Structure 1
């Protein structure tokens, strides 16, 4: 079982690196609606234990998501997809909590990375085209469930959700808005379990308060980039980020066994 992680020392380097990591995650939320938070975790892991980084980010995700909804308004949400996705998300977070406490999350990371790389590989083999496929209730439920598990275990719920949403060919605003609301719900639910698992100490809360200042500018800059991307560019960027996320998951899982 995960016990309380050691609070990071409040040095200038710790504050700057944590601020940069949160800014990067906020930028991703503004540009793509969320789902790629794991790209910022390596930065935080430079100055603190990865589990402590997860505990630091859990409540910050809620603040990021609520701010991002200023840009991803209800008109950008795909309600038919969210109705199918959200129940699985809630159940998946519950499963993820149990897995985090009792099972080896390194194996989960490796499995998720492998599936994601296969998904992206098939897209590249197919010529990198956006092939629109019909909505599928079983696929949506499976995506919500898997995303709930991986977002709880490794803050990496983006790949399962993207593997469901990208083939639907949603408009870029609807894709980002739907992703944003999905993770707003998920991050709000998982914040309490993460805080129970990690139990942040005094310095963690000070660092969280400092990192809050990165949220408005990070989300705004990401949103401005989103405005400049056309549909094809956005989808290419999302597939590219899936590769980065999968490789990070693969590294985390494999290095955990090797180390």
Structure 2
């Protein structure tokens, strides 16, 4: 990959945007920034670039999303499925039809958002469910490994629980800290970044502190309802992006 000024600027902006999402909502919306990166590099190279940068984002975000913001009962249910799902995603990466997975995940997410809209945009509190948590963790592990899109399955489990905005963001942040650490080596083995990619990673590191801090400030300025509405809106954007990736892949 050639390090042109355009490549550096676009990658820096993409990493800033993803870091901003990490600070504002705890993570899970990395795919929102990937279209920007895809204008200057192919998606697989973008995945290899982001895998180590996610670790840096996670470590910096822990300055804000401290243990007091983690829902430990939910994490105990979610994390085993997450780690297992990342393993499945690695084993199936080359065999899976990424387009079909993207379309399926998009359809499920859009139905979830649609049902929320039919309820008038209000959060219906539901009790914690062990089977749903395990399924969410497993599905999120597979999709985060395959396409850096593990946010929708986790959000579909956590949002109906009616957690406070801080607990929701903190739990999401730690969940993806574990997931990103688990998938780092598999992604590097699959992609094997070139020297230029490593250099671009080093440059993009400087976008992370400002991005996470800016997102965290936005989170503090929003009330509970605004944060949840923003999460549902981002889910819809993510789903539409996944749908476009899947359908355009078949049409290409």
Q: C-alpha separation between the residues in 1 aligned to 2:96 and 2:143?
A: 13
Runs of 4+ in 1 over 3 A off after TM superposition: none
Indicate conservation of the 8 Å contact 1:99/1:105, yes or no: no
Q: Which of these residues, 112, 115, 128, is aligned with residue 122 of structure 1?
A: 115
Map of 1:3 onto structure 2: none
User: C-alpha separation between the residues in 2 aligned to 1:149 and 1:229?
Assistant: 31
Q: CA deviation at 1:61?
A: 0.3
Cα distance between partner residues in 2 of 1:105 and 1:48: 18
- Match status 1:59 vs 2:55: no
Q: Deviations over 1:91-113 (max 9, x none)?
A: 10011112212121111111000
**Structure 1-normalised TM-score?**
0.97
Counterpart mapping for 1:21-40 below 5 A? 21-40=14-33
What CA distance in whole angstroms lies between the structure 2 residues aligned with 1:123 and 1:9?
44
2:106 matches 1:113: yes
- The unaligned stretches of length 5 or more in structure 2 are none
Partners in 1 of 2:91 and 2:182 — Cα distance?
Answer: 14
What is the SS of the residue equivalent to 1:184? Answer: helix
Q: Equivalent of 2:65, from 54, 57, 72?
A: 72
Aligned length, in residue pairs: 252
Question: Which runs of 5 or more residues in structure 1 are unaligned?
Answer: 1-7
Partner of 1:12: 5
Alpha-carbon RMSD: 0.5
Structure 1 partner of 2:154: 161
Give deviations 1:193-247, integer Å, cap 9, x for gaps.
Answer: 0111111000000000000000000000000000001000000000000000000
Work out the CA distance in 2 between the residues paired with 1:239 and 1:98: 31
| Alpha carbons 1:139, 1:164 under 8 Å: kept | yes
Q: Distance in 1 between matches of 2:78 and 2:153?
A: 11
**Of residues 173, 179, 185 in structure 1, which corresponds to 2:166?**
173
C-alpha separation in 2, matches of 1:17 and 1:154: 20
In 2, distance between residues paired with 1:161 and 1:187?
A: 14
Question: Quick one: which of 177, 184, 189 aligns to 1:184?
Answer: 177
